[in-house]
Amino acid sequence: MPNGYRRSSSRVLAGQPEFLGDDRYTLQTESAERDAAREACLHDLGDIPVPSPERDSDIQVSVSRNVSGVSVTEWVSTPRVPGAQPLRTHQTVEPISIGGLEAVRLVTDNATPETTAFVIRANDRMYVLGPTQSSMPSSLPKGWIDDIARTFTAIAPVAFPSPSATTPPREAATRLANALAQAFSNRDAEGVARLMKPCWVALTPLIDGRPPGGVLNRSVALFTQALKTRYAIGNFTVVVDPTVQVELQGSNERMFVRSEWRESDRTTQFDLYLDPIDGQWVWTAAQPHFLQTQVVNGCIPYRSPWVDGNASC
């Protein structure tokens, strides 16, 4: 990486069938990055990330197994998850070679084409190198990502280290489910927050059993404060059934528990999803069930603590 870059985060996902992990690199100092993260966590986010100017130059390198042994062009043209769009969507694919390795450059298919990523095949893997922001920064010189990609060198992979003993997933999820049920039963908002994913919890509704699209990433700090307020006002109870349910998503199992959010005028079912993050199981997402008759002018009837205030559609 060019001078000034440091690795800001790294993930290695042992046991996954395809995606192996990623590294992120930034020009931000550690203290500046921490301050920006704390500030961001105090706000809700939609399904489209808000560009951060200080992140314009951030780089991500992600790695996936090339399980089908396909060419780079075919790999970027095939959805990685059923129902998703392929990586090349709305982009031009330019076959190239980097250090003698098969690769493609992805370029925006518009009047002002810009390089968005490089995908390189090596070691029976696919390496995707590109900026972390979804929009291309105007503050950086044209071709800046190309200069970085040209320096790519594939290092021969080594075996994953022997995993240390861990609690079986269903047992760990059951422990979390019981703790979550107890915290809600005790009306302990801070206790609930300690069991949540840091920063944001994802809210993805179902309308008559079907997803309408979109997601609300609710700030955990705002959620916790609103939950305290709802408990103080009264006429609000959350009851969690700690029986862990299992949902198959592709070849992976996703764990969740069912819950009822009871108010004076309605009861709403929420499925609460439980996932491991950095070796610890936490509550990461919620899926409320609404009826189409509850949706007014396209407005999904969220209430506090999922939105600020007491407004309802």
pLDDT in tens, 278-290: 778 999 999 999 9
pLDDT at 202 over 60: yes
- Determine the straight-line distance between the first and last CA of the chain, rounded to whole angstroms: 50
Contact 130, 137 (CB under 8 A): no
Contact 257, 272 (CB under 8 A): yes
> In angstroms, what CA-CA distances link 278 with 8, 40, 121, 167, 198?
15, 20, 28, 14, 11
Tokens of 208: 């008559």
Q: Report the mean per-residue pLDDT for the chain.
A: 88
Higher pLDDT, 253 or 197: 197
How many CB atoms are located within 10 Å of the residue 221 CB? 15
Q: What is the pLDDT of residue 312?
A: 58
How does residue 255 score in pLDDT terms, banded at 50, 70 and 90?
very high
In the chain the domains, ranked by start, together with CATH numbers, are: 6-149 (no CATH), 169-294 (3.10.450.50)
Least confident span in 47-51, 175-179, 260-264: 47-51
Residues 6+ away with beta carbon under 8 Å from 181: 239, 240, 241, 242, 257
With pLDDT > 70 as the criterion, what percentage of the chain qualifies?
90
Q: What is the pLDDT of residue 173?
A: 94
Prior bond to 305 cis, omega within 30?
A: yes
pLDDT at 136 over 60: no
Give tens-digit pLDDT for 12-58: 876 677 888 899 999 888 998 888 888 888 888 876 555 566 677 89
Q: 311 — phi, psi (to 5°)?
A: -65, 140
Give tens-digit pLDDT for 70-117: 999 999 999 877 777 899 998 999 999 999 999 999 998 887 788 889
pTM of the model: 0.72
How does residue 135 score in pLDDT terms, banded at 50, 70 and 90?
low
